[in-house]
Amino acid sequence: MINFKEILYYSKLNTEIIGEIIIVKSDMGLKRIEIIEDSFKKFKNNCDLKEITLVESIKECSDVAEQINEYFNGERSQFDLKIDLSGTEFRKRVWEELLKIPYGESRSYSDIAKAIGKDKAVRAIGQANKSNPIPIIIPCHRVIGKNKKLIGYAGNHTDIQEKLLNFEKSNKEYINNRCCRTMKN
């Protein structure tokens, strides 16, 4: 029997707002975005255990890097990328709901639970948010506590969450005006 190793490509990208991130792609699409260096180290070790080959490739990750750069340059509020998403059906439902949160706005964990018809699943929503493999693209940073406090983002890196929310809020008017001008032309 022949065993084929899965190949994943990765590339580092420096952002002005939150520092270095790591993009991970498969041949099927975007697999992960690591915003915390230690998380990438754990992921890398896990790949070794699962016999996944990681190959550094700026070229393979260039489409994602381009759209993330556009996002951080205030030129993009939504992403159009092929995604290779793994997760339970429940988590995928949560992540789909996160994609509906408008740029520059936030929702509570309770709001997300109600939106997917699972009012009492607030903790499970938190776990799904925590396990989101592609932050920024699936905007888990837009989910906050019911009391409007930042809680639990990326292993309690609420400083990153705050930077992303403030960035979007400050660019929201610019993006909206830009979109409206484009539609009128």
Digit-coded pLDDT (tens) for 58-91: 999 999 999 999 999 999 999 999 999 999 999 9
Q: pLDDT-based confidence at 178, cuts 50/70/90?
A: low
Residue 2: its pLDDT value, please?
A: 55
pLDDT of 142: 96
- Domains defined along the chain, listed by start: 6-72 (3.30.160), 89-184 (1.10.10.10)
Please tell me the predicted confidence (pLDDT) of residue 174. Answer: 67
Give yes or no for residue 139 having a pLDDT over 80. Answer: yes
**Which range has the worst mean pLDDT, 10-24, 57-71, 165-179?**
165-179
pLDDT of residue 135: 96
Q: For residue 90, what pLDDT is reported?
A: 97
Q: Across residues 2-31, what is the average pLDDT?
A: 91
Question: What confidence tens digit (pLDDT) does each residue in 105-123 have?
Answer: 999 999 999 999 999 999 9
Q: What number is the average pLDDT over the span 124-146?
A: 94
* Distance from C-alpha of 60 to C-alpha of 116, rounded to nearest angstrom: 34
Known catalytic residues are 140
Q: 168 pLDDT exceeds 90?
A: yes
- The CA distance from 140 to 97, in Å, is 10
% of the chain surpassing 70 pLDDT: 91
One-letter-per-residue 3-state SS of the chain? CCCCCEEEEEEEEEECCCEEEEEEECCCCEEEEECCHHHHHHHHHHHHHCCEEEEECCCCCHHHHHHHHHHHCCCCCCCCCCECCCCCHHHHHHHHHHCCCCCCCCEEHHHHHHHCCCCCCHHHHHHHHHCCCCCCCCCHHHEECCCCCCCCCCCCCHHHHHHHHHHHHHHHHHHHHHHHHHHHC
N-term to C-term CA, the chain: 60
Instruction: Give the pLDDT score at 140.
Output: 94
